Amino acid sequence: MEPWVFGEAPLGQTEGAAERLRRVIGLLLAAEGDIPAVDRLLTALDDVEADLAPTVPADREPRVGTAADGDGRVYLDHGRDVGAYNPCFPEYDLTVDGPTASGTVTFPIAYEGPAGYVHGGFLALFADCIAQHHNCEAGVAGKTVSLTMRYRRPAPLLTTLTVNAERRTDDGRIHSTVRLRDGERLLCEASVEAVAGDRAAMPEVSPRGGRP
């Protein structure tokens, strides 16, 4: 079955910015004091914001469904690799093999909760991203209706962790189990349930409008 795609692919510049912003955020959070480089960064960000603002739609509603022909913004595909273009999401690697998937993730300082460990909310977000990515690559995806997390051990920052996922479909629902490990140690386990979508009923998504 063809992968499930809903939305436009991110621009290369958007992906490059997400990667850099994530790294810089980690450095800022570790800074011991004010430095001139951060002042330069703030000025540069103000300049970029001023230049970007006139090039994007003033209406920030995504051009999806009844708003597809409107003046809103482009909607980017959130089915997979959201962290590759949005620094607010975790970035990871995932290989899908039918009903199973496996990969790795390294959480930077930006996702810290307890000292040296990942905030549990980001772990739940990560599990939902993995389940959705798996579903989209399998060709049947849909909206998450429940997510249950069981935290076993704290997940360390700046450490390559492994993730494994399993999925099955039953009566129009997709049931996923996502497990995160540090070596052989189970850190957390998520049970994610989603409604299986119907491609024929998908709302219209407007393509990128060719704005500068």
What's domain 12-201's architecture? Roll (3.10)
The two three-digit tokens of residue 20, written as one number: 């850099």
DSSP-derived letter for residue 112 is B
Res. 75: pLDDT tops 70: yes
Q: Domain limits of the chain?
A: 12-201
What is the per-residue pLDDT across 87-126, written as a single tens digit (0 to 9) for each? Answer: 999 999 999 999 999 999 999 999 999 999 999 999 999 9
How much is the CA Rg of the chain, to the nearest whole Å? 19
Cα of 5 vs its chain's centroid, Å: 15
Listed in sequence order, the residues at least 6 apart from 201 whose beta carbon sits closer than 8 Å to its beta carbon are none
| Category of 139 on φ-ψ map: left (φ > 0), alpha (ψ -120 to 50) or beta | left
| Phi and psi torsions of 41, nearest 5° | -60, -45
**Interatomic CA distance for residues 86 and 17, integer angstroms:** 9
Q: Among 199, 25, 131, 201, which residue's Cα sits nearest to residue 123? A: 131
pLDDT in tens, 52-63: 999 999 898 999
User: Could you tell me the two tokens for 180?
Assistant: 């995160």
For the whole model, what pTM was predicted?
A: 0.92
